[in-house]
Amino acid sequence: QAEARWAAVDQYLAGTLVGEDAVLAEGRQAAHEAGLPGIEVSAPQGKFLMLMARLVGARKVLEIGTLGGYSTTWLARGIPDDGEVITCEYEPHHAEVARANLARAGVGGKVSVRVGAALETLPRLEAEEAGPFDLVFIDADKANNRNYVEWALKLARPGTVIIVDNVVRGGAVLRTDLPAGDPEAEAIAGTRGALELLGSDRRLDATAVQTVGAKGWDGFAFAVVK
C-alpha cells in the first residue's frame, strides 16, 4: 500500500515538474515492446540526472549501463551540442534499441554506445584517452559496482561527479543472510564495496540519498572527486 502511494506521488511530481515529452515516453515504450526489462530510471530521476549534468557544466559524460537509452537521453539533454555521452552496454540487442531511441530523440549525434562488458570497454576508453569525464553514472551489473567506481576514478578529474544507482535496494543493502552465489548477495557485495570505497578514498567526498517512488525504496550515491 505504501508502494502505491509512493508511485502516485511520483506520477504527480512527474506531471507537475518533469514534463517527460512524447519522445522519451515513446522510447520507453519501444524498449518494453522490444522485450527489454522495465528497469530504467523514473522520469523524475532522469530529469535529476539531466539537471546534474547541467549543474556540473558537463561536456563529457560516461554512463555504465544503457538499457534502452532512457537515462542516456536525459544525460545527453543536459550537455551542450558539442558534448559527448559514452555509454557502455553488454547486450547487443539493448544497444540496438538504445541507438534507435537516441536517434528518435535527436541526440544520437552526441552519444556513442559501446557494446561489450564494461570492464573490457573501460580500459579501452582509457587507452583512447576518451576522458576525463565530468560526470559518471553507474547503473549496470551491480556486482561490479566497486570496480566501476575504481574505473570512474581513473577516468576522472578534480570536480568529476560520480553517481551510483540502486544503492539501497529496498533496504537489502544491509542483508547478510543471503547465501554466497545468490545474485542479490553479489549485487549487495558490489554495492557495499562501492559505498565503502566512496566513503574511504581520500580523493572523494560522498553521500547517498534514499528515495521512494515508482521504483520502490532505493537510493543514489553521489561523490565528487577532490
Q: Give residues in contact with ligand SAM (CB under 6 A).
A: 39-41, 65-67, 70-71, 88-91, 94, 117-118, 139-141
Judged by beta carbon, residue 116 or residue 199, the one nearer ligand SAM is 116
Q: How many alpha carbons fall within 13 Å on the CB side of residue 222?
A: 12
How many Cβ atoms sit within 10 Å of the Cβ of residue 83? 18
H/E stretch holding 209 reads strand 204-213
Q: Which residues, in sequence order, are CB contacts of 51 under 8 Å at separation 6+? A: 78
Q: How far is the CB of 1 from ligand SAM (least distance, A)?
A: 26
Nearest alpha-carbon partner for 62 in 127, 176, 4, 149 = 149
Judged by beta carbon, residue 126 or residue 205, the one nearer ligand SAM is 126
Judged by beta carbon, residue 56 or residue 143, the one nearer ligand SAM is 143
Q: How far is the CB of 90 from ligand SAM (least distance, A)?
A: 4
Q: Which residues, in sequence order, are CB contacts of 191 under 8 Å at separation 6+? A: 142, 145, 164, 166, 167, 169, 173
**Three cell numbers, residue 121:** 570497454
How many Cβ atoms sit within 10 Å of the Cβ of residue 159? 13
Q: How far is the CB of 15 from ligand SAM (least distance, A)?
A: 20
Q: How far is the CB of 170 from ligand SAM (least distance, A)?
A: 15
Q: How far is the CB of 208 from ligand SAM (least distance, A)?
A: 17
Judged by beta carbon, residue 32 or residue 54, the one nearer ligand SAM is 32
Q: How far is the CB of 16 from ligand SAM (least distance, A)?
A: 21
- DSSP states of 64-78: E--TTSHHHHHHHHT
Judged by beta carbon, residue 145 or residue 160, the one nearer ligand SAM is 145
Judged by beta carbon, residue 118 or residue 212, the one nearer ligand SAM is 118
